Chains A and B, each alone.
Chain A
């Protein structure tokens, strides 16, 4: 853990440059360039609001906000995973030629998606104002679930990037895992819809606590219980510790498999 923090700090300039490169390349050759980072979630939100606000009506008030409060962090998670799983293998040609601290690639993959995610909160806040939905003061709590989310994603990224070096199937498995995980997380629905006797099963999902923090503070205007807040950070830290120690254990062997 200390080693992770130290190396991330030591290579911060390189990580930042790699993350910027990823963003630049993603938006290069498009007329609106960087604006897409804002426009993409904004357009998605407009579609969702139209569909769920006028065409399909749910029993949940302001369903679009309800949905987006968890969908945006989820989208971050799933995009960051898709990027990072190939981060070591994809940079294989480089790693074979010069010595580079291997951790910079999974970290840069997360950092670039963090930038994207933070930008997507701007259109969300705008939408909330436009819909005359209250912009709760509990937004100030968001840094806590965000930290939990980022740490958790980083841990998972280390794990899957390592596994992908040894078995390339992992990048496909991650895609399937992500879509299954999406439906098992109460993102499009609420945990209240699940019969009481099955809820314990859903509570095993480490992403639940993080996602809950987002929905509580954006949609309900409430703060989570201390227990739930601690769990969301705890899951993040645990995931990072496990993921990073696996990555560290195997990283010297990567070169023979990429």
Chain B
């Protein structure tokens, strides 16, 4: 059997954000701050994180808020360029980081399909080819020619999810988006994710919903304050996370005493 190709490699990745206390947003502030040096501190969102994801893997990323989960996805998507370390991404990416980020409210569903598809890197021809499938999956019917500002939030989500997954990427990045939408929509989304998995696509899945992580992921990364503290089988890492959470609750309790 051939060795599965590596899709994503993180080697010693550090992502530092400079948190400037009241960053000078305007010139006046910049002049005022010029004399009494701007005060800032560096915040390391990721501290020397290394891992690899192979073709066909579905990897969950868990951890508390602010632990760096979304930062990892944004680095893979190319939004951030890491401060140091090496990142290699091999294959096309579809980010489901925030559904409908590229939607324009005044435009109709159909116009938004084109604009969003192009933003996600498709050519116009590819978008046109997939348009009918997108409309069908989103179950919009005649609403497709209505401006999206008149959509219900469910319709909005369905359209966005349909576009992002029709891009047919090698690597799918999912950030906590499935928490919204009704049961029926969630079921459809999970079906599609399942379908992606059988096609041998690589999926990175950030979620607080440990149930769906358990259901889908073969492997889980656990982040804590920017450090990758566990990388292993789903059940093991989730139990580790749960004990971490209860420790945290305990420490809060002791403080309260």
Shortest beta-carbon distance, B242 to chain A, in Å? 30
User: Contacts A167-B27, A256-B18 hold; do A100 and B107 have CB atoms under 8 A apart?
Assistant: no
Complex Cα spacing A14 to B120, Å: 10
Residues from 73 to 116 in B contacting A, C-beta threshold 8 Å: 74, 77-81, 93, 95, 97-98, 101-102, 104, 106-107, 111, 114-115
Surface stretch bound by B, among A16-24, A182-190, A242-250: A16-24
A97 in contact with B101 (CB, 8 Å): yes
The contact of B26 among A25, A95, A169, by CB within 8 Å, is: A169
Binary contact readout B109-138 vs A (1 if CB under 8 angstroms, 0 otherwise): 001001100111001100000000000000
B119 in contact with A98 (CB, 8 Å): yes
Query: Which residue of chain B lies nearest to A25 when distances are taken between CB atoms in the complex?
Result: B106
Shortest beta-carbon distance, B145 to chain A, in Å? 13
Within 8 Å of chain A (Cβ to Cβ): is B51?
A: no
Shortest beta-carbon distance, A12 to chain B, in Å? 10
Complex Cα spacing A73 to B201, Å: 52
A98 in contact with B120 (CB, 8 Å): yes
- Interface range on chain B (Cβ under 8 Å from partner): 20 to 34
Main secondary structure of the interface of A (DSSP, over half): helix
A17 in contact with B25 (CB, 8 Å): no
Shortest beta-carbon distance, B44 to chain A, in Å? 14
Complex Cα spacing A93 to B101, Å: 7
B115 in contact with A21 (CB, 8 Å): yes
A99 in contact with B77 (CB, 8 Å): yes
Query: Which residue of chain A lies nearest to B105 when distances are taken between CB atoms in the complex?
Result: A25
Query: Which residue of chain A lies nearest to B80 when distances are taken between CB atoms in the complex?
Result: A255
B97 in contact with A21 (CB, 8 Å): no
Within 8 Å of chain A (Cβ to Cβ): is B30?
A: yes
Shortest beta-carbon distance, B166 to chain A, in Å? 15
The contact of B17 among A93, A100, A256, by CB within 8 Å, is: A256
Residues from 1 to 53 in A contacting B, C-beta threshold 8 Å: 13-14, 17-18, 21, 24-25, 28-29
Shortest beta-carbon distance, B25 to chain A, in Å? 6
Complex Cα spacing A93 to B97, Å: 12
Shortest beta-carbon distance, A168 to chain B, in Å? 6
Within 8 Å of chain B (Cβ to Cβ): is A54?
A: no
Within 8 Å of chain B (Cβ to Cβ): is A136?
A: no
Query: Which residue of chain B lies nearest to A91 when distances are taken between CB atoms in the complex?
Result: B102
Within 8 Å of chain B (Cβ to Cβ): is A252?
A: yes
Residues of B within 8 A of A28 (CB): 106
- Interface range on chain A (Cβ under 8 Å from partner): 20 to 34
Residues of B within 8 A of A18 (CB): 115
B79 in contact with A14 (CB, 8 Å): no
Residues from 17 to 44 in B contacting A, C-beta threshold 8 Å: 17-18, 24-28, 30
Complex Cα spacing A18 to B119, Å: 9
Complex Cα spacing A95 to B98, Å: 11
Residues of B within 8 A of A167 (CB): 24-27, 30
Residues of B within 8 A of A93 (CB): 101
User: Contacts A97-B98, A167-B26 hold; do A25 and B107 have CB atoms under 8 A apart?
Assistant: yes
The contact of B101 among A17, A25, A94, A256, by CB within 8 Å, is: A94
Residues of B within 8 A of A14 (CB): 118-119
A97 in contact with B95 (CB, 8 Å): yes
A21 in contact with B123 (CB, 8 Å): no
B111 in contact with A24 (CB, 8 Å): yes
Query: Which residue of chain B lies nearest to A28 when distances are taken between CB atoms in the complex?
Result: B106
Residues of A within 8 A of B120 (CB): 98
B115 in contact with A17 (CB, 8 Å): yes
A-B contact sample (13 more), CB < 8 A, given A97-B101, A98-B79 = A17-B114, A17-B115, A21-B104, A21-B107, A29-B106, A94-B119, A98-B77, A98-B95, A98-B97, A99-B78, A167-B26, A167-B30, A252-B81
* 25 A–B pairs (Cβ distance < 8 Å), ordered by A: A13-B118, A13-B123, A14-B118, A18-B115, A21-B104, A24-B106, A24-B107, A25-B104, A25-B107, A28-B106, A29-B106, A93-B101, A94-B101, A97-B74, A97-B97, A97-B101, A98-B95, A98-B101, A98-B102, A98-B120, A99-B77, A99-B79, A167-B27, A169-B27, A256-B17
